[in-house]
Structure 1
């Protein structure tokens, strides 16, 4: 079997809690759709699920059990000295929200997806070359986003700046065209006014003769 190759950047860890994934998702969708020639929700959702920090943290959060019989004094039907462990009725719902709370507070919870595993899984859908190129480009974007205070890849920020620059240049060009048109209209109006004045002078001269 041919040895699978990985982009060098895949050796670097990414903390997805520092990345604004919603900004990267359209790129993922467009890229995979371009490779496959159609929009494949299964492949796209697989990538999203592997990258989504909250899902990743939930999948890796350990259970927080409490002893049976610890629900409070007066609880009937359980031995307070039982060594078995299970979630309490009140603690369970709280624990289900704990990953999100940790992410929100920025304490403890991190999610480092496994890019090599992702590439191996994607190879069956995209083929070896496309999966390697896709993961290399994706990881470069995520590394850039992780290093950015905004959590947005520098490439996207630069692209947005370039779009704004072009928009401003286009608006300036249109403004100059409009100003030139107004100047031409003014000149035409002045020329008409001069023609009217000349006509009046001729008419006046004819009457005086």
Structure 2
């Protein structure tokens, strides 16, 4: 599937050491990862690009063991300078997800827990604020 140019780029590009580890996609909750991919690509590009997001999904879902090096080479034209950091972060999350019983990266679970705790804290503060305010006096209109 790799062209001659892709093959040369694969040989000449220096990849992070994490890329030598395999990810078994069957152990990963892909729905969670797809949400992360979509939000990250939207953040990088500044708008939602369904074509690039679907391309990434297809590249990852191509086989049981995705080839992140090949994926990075194929995404370079779309994500430019953000391709390598995106692929590295994606791969770390996939490695984390495959070792998690739920197939969800622990980093995303921790971020979600923190977000829920902050929401609860905000709700508690707003409830406390509304309880401490004195009731407003009602005007009585005499007709």
Q: Which TM-score tier does this pair reach, normalised by the shorter chain?
A: 0.7 to 0.9
Structure 2's unaligned 5+ residue stretches are 1-7, 138-143
Partner of 2:112: 160
Partner of 1:27: 36
Structure 1 CA distance for aligned equivalents of residues 96 and 115 of structure 2: 20
1:133 equivalent to 2:85? Answer yes
Partner of 2:15: 6
List structure 1 runs of 4+ shifted beyond 6 angstroms: none
The alpha carbon displacement at 1:130 in A equals 1.8
Structure 2 CA distance for aligned equivalents of residues 175 and 37 of structure 1: 36
- Pairwise mapping of residues 160-179 of structure 1 onto structure 2 (< 5 A)? 160-179=112-131
Partner of 1:15: 24
The alpha carbon displacement at 1:136 in A equals 0.1
The alpha carbon displacement at 1:42 in A equals 3.1
The alpha carbon displacement at 1:38 in A equals 3.7
Bigger-Rg structure (1/2):
1
For the aligned residues, what is the CA RMSD?
2.3
Partner of 1:194: none
Q: Deviations 1:155-185 (Å, cap 9, x if unpaired)?
A: 211111111111221122122212212xx34
How many matched pairs?
Answer: 128
Change (3 A) 1:35 1:164: closer
TM-score with structure 2 setting the length: 0.77
Change (3 A) 1:39 1:173: closer
> Secondary structure of 1:113's partner?
coil
Structure 2 CA distance for aligned equivalents of residues 34 and 5 of structure 1: 25
Structure 2 CA distance for aligned equivalents of residues 160 and 117 of structure 1: 30
Do the aligned residues in 2 keep the contact of 1:5 with 1:132 (CA within 8 Å)?
no
